[in-house]
Amino acid sequence: MRGPGLIAARWLALLLPLALIAGALGSQYLGGLYPCEMCHWQRWPHYGAIAAALLAFFVPQTNNRVALVVLAALLIALSGAIGVFHAGVEYRWWDGITGCSAAPSSGSGDLLADIMAAPLTRCDVPQWTFAGISLAGFNALFSLGGAVAILALLKRKAG
């Protein structure tokens, strides 16, 4: 497959995770919003997608380029799926699976020790929202929508 579909998909597979990571790092280092454990989980697939999409610009064979773009799209979708889970924890649709989404309680009976051992940023409390959507929710929307768009571009026929 050659043509505008692959070119556009390759660029979107690179620029979308770059933009989302730039937003995450900007909100952390410029905006003072410190990521919780699940926030970091959402970043790792984007880093992988950036690497795969970059490689897709340098491999010589079209089939390899397509495979790398598909891999990037799947990694972006994985980040979106983690974002859905994280947003669900924030909205109290379900319980989180980490210590950052539960009140401190080790069962030791020492409340101060429990508080001191708790993470600084809780996973079940959104630090920022816009129109009722948290950063995890926005990551889910942009990542899942972007992954679908990348795959749709790859299916587009040239001409």
In 62-105, alpha helices (H): 62-90
Measured CA to CA, the distance from residue 95 to residue 108 in angstroms comes to 22
Q: Which residues pair with 130 in a beta bridge?
A: 133
> In sequence order, what DSSP letters do the residues of 104-151 get, joined into one string?
S--SSS-HHHHHHHS-SS-TTS-S-EETTEEHHHHHHHHHHHHHHHHH
Q: Where do the structural domains in the chain lie, given as residue ranges? A: 4-94+108-155
Q: What's the pLDDT at 61?
A: 87
Reference 5, options 148, 151, 159, 156; nearest CA is 156
pLDDT tens digits for 24-82? 999 999 988 888 888 889 999 999 999 999 999 999 888 899 999 999 999 999 999 99
Q: What single string gives the DSSP state of each residue in 38-60?
A: HHHHHHHHHHHHHHHHHHHTT-S
How many Cα atoms sit within 13 Å of 116 on the Cβ side?
Answer: 5
Q: Is the pLDDT score of 145 beyond 60?
A: yes
Q: What is the pLDDT of residue 128?
A: 76
Q: How far is residue 68's CA from residue 46's CA, in Å, rounded to a whole number?
A: 14
pLDDT at 6 over 60: yes
pTM (global) more than 0.75: yes
pLDDT digits (tens, 9 = 90+) for 85-111: 999 998 989 887 876 665 555 556 676
Between CA 76 and CA 18 the distance in angstroms is 11
Q: What angle do CA 128, 129, 130 make, to 5 degrees?
A: 135
State residue 33's pLDDT score. Answer: 85
For the cut 90, the answer to whether the pLDDT of residue 147 exceeds it is: yes
- Do residues 72 and 56 lie in contact, with contact meaning Cβ atoms separated by under 8 Å? yes
